[in-house]
Amino acid sequence: MTDANVKKKLAQFVALGNELDAEAKRRYGPDGMLFHEADGSALIMDCLPDDGSDESPQDHVRFSVYGVQWGAGAF
């Protein structure tokens, strides 16, 4: 793959992620989101519960797929 192809694919990847995040917000309101977990899952959630809540984040997963192989985290 050329550098130009990598840049193009990355831009398409970001555009698709933004589209899915926008759809989550359309369906579930401003707290809806596309979310990526370090366990290799990509999720659409209706919200992420507050830290003080008894709710589990898993209770808010509406769609999920597994198989993500890229890393996750902060520097």
Summarised one tens digit per residue, pLDDT across range 29-39 is 999 999 998 88
Query: Does 72 reside within a domain?
Result: no
In the structure encoding, which two tokens stand for residue 26, read together? 């359309």
Q: Residues 47-75: pLDDT tens digits?
A: 988 877 788 888 899 999 999 998 877 66
- Residue 24: which of 10, 12, 42, 41 has the closest Cα? 42
Instruction: Give me the domain span that covers residue 29.
Output: 3-66
What's the CA gap between 19 and 29, in Å, rounded? 14
Query: Does 71 reside within a domain?
Result: no
- Give the chain's domain count: 1
Beta strands in 1-75 (DSSP E): 33-36, 41-45, 61-66
